Amino acid sequence: MRLQRLWLKQFRNLRDVTVDFAEYYEPSPRQPASTERKAIRSHALIGQNGTGKSNLMEAIISIFRGIDLGLDVEFDYELEYKIRGYVIKVKGDLAQQKRPLVWVDGEKKFLDYLRINDDPRKENYDPHKGPRLLPSHIFAYYSGRNERMEILFQEHQRRFNRRQEITAEEVTPENTVKELEEREKELLRQLGDDRLRRLFYCRGGHSQLVLLACLLSNDPVFQKILENLNIESLESALFVLKQPHRLRRLEEDDILQGDPRFWYARGNVVSEFLDKLWQVAWAPIQHEEPKLIDFRGRRERQKQLYLFVPDKEKLRELGELIGSPSSFFRYAEGAYIGDLIEEVRITVKKRDEHGGKVSFTQLSEGELQMLTVLGLMRITNEDDCLFLLDEPDTHLNPIWKLRYFDDIENVLKPRPDAIVQGESQVLITTHDPMMIGGLKREQVHILRKHGQQTEVVQPDEHPQGMGVSGLLKSEIFGLPSTLDGQTMDDLQCRNDLLAKRREAGLTPDEEQELEYLVTRLEDLGFSREYRDPMYQLFIEQMYKVRRKPLNELLTKQEIQAQNQLAEQIIEELVKAERIDELSKIAQELAIKAKG
């Protein structure tokens, strides 16, 4: 999955915006011509507050949401992307027609060709149904709460919940089921039910489920994620299930087909996950307690069921019963979204110097962010996904920020034993120079406002190698200096006093102030921001030499020649200024004469 180009006529504060996403890195001048080009997996969106970075992501979500749900066009756009070897162009034109226009490899198609898939290898293949031409999943992550973005995912979540409640027997004719062999029956039961919905909004509760999936896996990438979080192993996990609100009033189908152990919930989440969890858990305990519903103090009685997994061996047994770590996450996430899981109380063992046994709730916000985002990327490694991460660096420490894009690259690498390998793309908004310090210019997109228009450009230079200070003062962030206002004022005052001392001398109070400023600024070492140590040495020696009297540096003849040159330059400047003044006077006289 690779976004290639997006054009928006008008979406919120974005007007006539075009974003081009490079597919490959530019080759290095020293790189042999035969070297295979490296694909770009991740891009960064940079811009001041209010330039529309989050709106750009919402526009992308809205476009794919409308396509997947078969909705009418809401705004004018053009989107081009590449997926599974096909080049797709989708155009929304309010003036032309209600539904989006679609082209696949330059050939015009109906919208349903994108939405409804059929396997071209089938004997009775339907040519009106296209191959898989939409991203498997579009994940959105926001470090805080974004209700406007959450709304875009509600319909997919509602449909997903409904599908989880339907068993294979409900959607398959009885005579067809009887004709299938046992193996085919099992595949049919699982078909689609262990898949995540296409539009997926990452929530706080997902981090617990991702952690359990990581602990179940022997994948070295998962192990590296846990190592970075200083987590060694699982100590225990308490699954707190709850009665879903929708099952407080039962219908006949619920009683006939539901599982009484879980308040008559039904569907493959129950048969493929909760039933297996019941098998490995110790002494299930039913419980009822008042729960605080919201910040207003509203409470309600909630029926709960405690299922305790005592150690990592039992967790692995659960994983083996369910299948792969990705299947574990998909089913567990289905139970969470289906209102069957209240929480999972996990205790993990961290390295002794990092706290030993700790509860999951004691992990920092930064640890949870890293776990959720990187874990989901690895779980869906075999799919073609689009990840939209809005300021995921909010709670990260500087070390994690610096290596964030490298971590993404490692997580998206193919599994050595993978039969199918997906191609995913990551878009990240950020304000932090540490996040983009290792990127190439092709990966960075700067949003700038020009009146009512928004422009998206790439930097002229690679951010890689600039350093934080250099990035802040570059065109990417545009700061005139990385120094604070007080220090800038002190520098200006020092320079003014030095100039005055050379020309007219200083009063005793001014000499004292100058001495204080020189000492203070030297102690601050603001000149030590130079990244090249050889250049730093040069600067220090230059200031040392500049302190020497002029007659120790230049001969009398050189000083005289320098003064003559300075006088000549000043004369030329004054002459040019006088000529400009005379020209203006002449123009004014000419106007008056005509009048």
Whether residue 448 is found in the same domain as residue 583: no
Whether residue 372 is found in the same domain as residue 282: yes
Interatomic CA distance for residues 126 and 444, integer angstroms: 42
Whether residue 508 is found in the same domain as residue 557: no
Whether residue 387 is found in the same domain as residue 271: no
Residue 416 backbone phi and psi in degrees, to 5: -60, -30
Res 191: pLDDT: 37
Q: pLDDT tens, 201-212?
A: 998 888 889 989
Whether residue 61 is found in the same domain as residue 181: no
Res 174: pLDDT: 43
Q: Tell me which of 126 and 353 has the higher pLDDT.
A: 353
Q: What does the mean pLDDT of the chain come to?
A: 83
Nearest to 317 by CA among 279, 348, 345: 279
Res 295: pLDDT: 66
Q: pLDDT tens, 143-178?
A: 777 788 889 998 888 888 777 665 434 443 444 434
Nearest to 190 by CA among 267, 113, 126, 130: 267
Res 205: pLDDT: 83
For the chain, give the percent of residues with pLDDT over 90.
Answer: 33
Q: Is residue 472 part of a domain?
A: no
Strand, helix or coil for residue 462:
coil
- The phi-psi region of residue 422 (left if phi > 0; otherwise alpha if psi is between -120 and 50; otherwise beta) is beta
pTM listed for this prediction: 0.78
Res 219: pLDDT: 84
Interatomic CA distance for residues 318 and 557, integer angstroms: 91
Per-residue exposure over 555-586, b if at least 16 CB sit within 10 Å of its own CB, e if not:
eeeeeeeeeeeeeeeeeeeeeeeeeeeeeeee
Q: Which domain holds residue 62?
A: 1-27+38-136+381-464
Q: Which residue has the tokens 């990551």?
A: 426
Q: Tell me which of 586 and 369 has the higher pLDDT.
A: 369
Interatomic CA distance for residues 175 and 480, integer angstroms: 75
Q: pLDDT tens, 390-414?
A: 999 988 999 999 999 999 999 988 7
End residue of a domain, out of 353, 379, 405: 379
Q: Look up residue 203 and give its two tokens.
A: 């929530």
DSSP E strands in 361-516: the ranges are 385-390, 425-429, 444-450, 453-457
In terms of residues, how long is the chain?
595
Whether residue 321 is found in the same domain as residue 433: no
Res 130: pLDDT: 59
Res 450: pLDDT: 83
- Who's near 537: CB < 8 A, 6+ residues apart? none
Q: Is 526 a residue whose pLDDT tops 60? A: no
Question: Which H, E and C letters describe 326-353, residue by residue?
Answer: HHHHHHHHHHHHCCCEEEEEEEEEECHH
Q: Is residue 349 part of a domain?
A: yes
Res 563: pLDDT: 81
Over residues 94-119, mean pLDDT: 87
Q: pLDDT tens, 539-563?
A: 556 655 665 676 677 787 887 888 8
Res 483: pLDDT: 73
Interatomic CA distance for residues 346 and 361, integer angstroms: 8
**Cα-based torsion angle of the residue sequence 12, 448, 45, 457 in order, rounded to the nearest 10 degrees:** 120
Whether residue 372 is found in the same domain as residue 399: no
End residue of a domain, out of 326, 351, 379: 379
CATH number at residue 78: 3.40.50.300
Res 164: pLDDT: 67
Q: Is residue 478 part of a domain?
A: no
Q: Tell me which of 20 and 120 has the higher pLDDT.
A: 20
Res 122: pLDDT: 57
Res 252: pLDDT: 80
Q: Is residue 113 part of a domain?
A: yes
Question: Pairing relation of β-strands 385-390 and 425-429?
Answer: parallel
Q: Is residue 470 part of a domain?
A: no
Per-residue exposure over 111-139, b if at least 16 CB sit within 10 Å of its own CB, e if not:
bebbbeebeeeeeeeeeebbbebbbbbbb
Interatomic CA distance for residues 112 and 139, integer angstroms: 23
Interatomic CA distance for residues 81 and 456, integer angstroms: 18
- Our count of domains for the chain comes to 4
- Sign of torsion, CA 224 229 231 237? negative
Burial of 277 (0-12, 13-18, 19+ CB in 10 A): buried
Q: Look up residue 294 and give its two tokens.
A: 């919201």
Q: Is 298 a residue whose pLDDT tops 60? A: yes
Whether residue 357 is found in the same domain as residue 396: no
- Sheet (strand 199-201) strand order: 199-201, 137-142, 385-390, 425-429, 42-47, 444-450, 453-457
Interatomic CA distance for residues 172 and 167, integer angstroms: 9
Interatomic CA distance for residues 194 and 326, integer angstroms: 9
Q: Is residue 172 part of a domain?
A: yes
Over residues 518-528, mean pLDDT: 69
Whether residue 299 is found in the same domain as residue 223: yes
Q: Tell me which of 272 and 308 has the higher pLDDT.
A: 308
Q: Is residue 537 part of a domain?
A: yes
Residue 281 backbone phi and psi in degrees, to 5: -75, 155
Residue 237 near residue 433, CB atoms below 8 Å = no
End residue of a domain, out of 336, 363, 379: 379
Interatomic CA distance for residues 448 and 458, integer angstroms: 11
Q: Is 188 a residue whose pLDDT tops 60? A: no
For the chain, give the percent of residues with pLDDT over 70.
Answer: 85
- The phi-psi region of residue 558 (left if phi > 0; otherwise alpha if psi is between -120 and 50; otherwise beta) is alpha
Q: Is 439 a residue whose pLDDT tops 90? A: yes
Whether residue 189 is found in the same domain as residue 268: yes
Res 20: pLDDT: 97
Q: pLDDT tens, 53-105?
A: 999 999 999 999 999 999 999 999 999 999 989 999 999 999 988 899 999 99
Residue 404 near residue 438, CB atoms below 8 Å = no
Whether residue 449 is found in the same domain as residue 350: no
- Sign of torsion, CA 359 364 370 372? positive
Q: Look up residue 475 and give its two tokens.
A: 């065109």
Strand, helix or coil for residue 224:
helix
Interatomic CA distance for residues 375 and 182, integer angstroms: 34
Interatomic CA distance for residues 203 and 140, integer angstroms: 9
Q: Is residue 496 part of a domain?
A: yes
Binned at pLDDT 50, 70 and 90, residue 125 comes out as low
Whether residue 346 is found in the same domain as residue 409: no
Q: Which residue has the tokens 């002794």?
A: 352
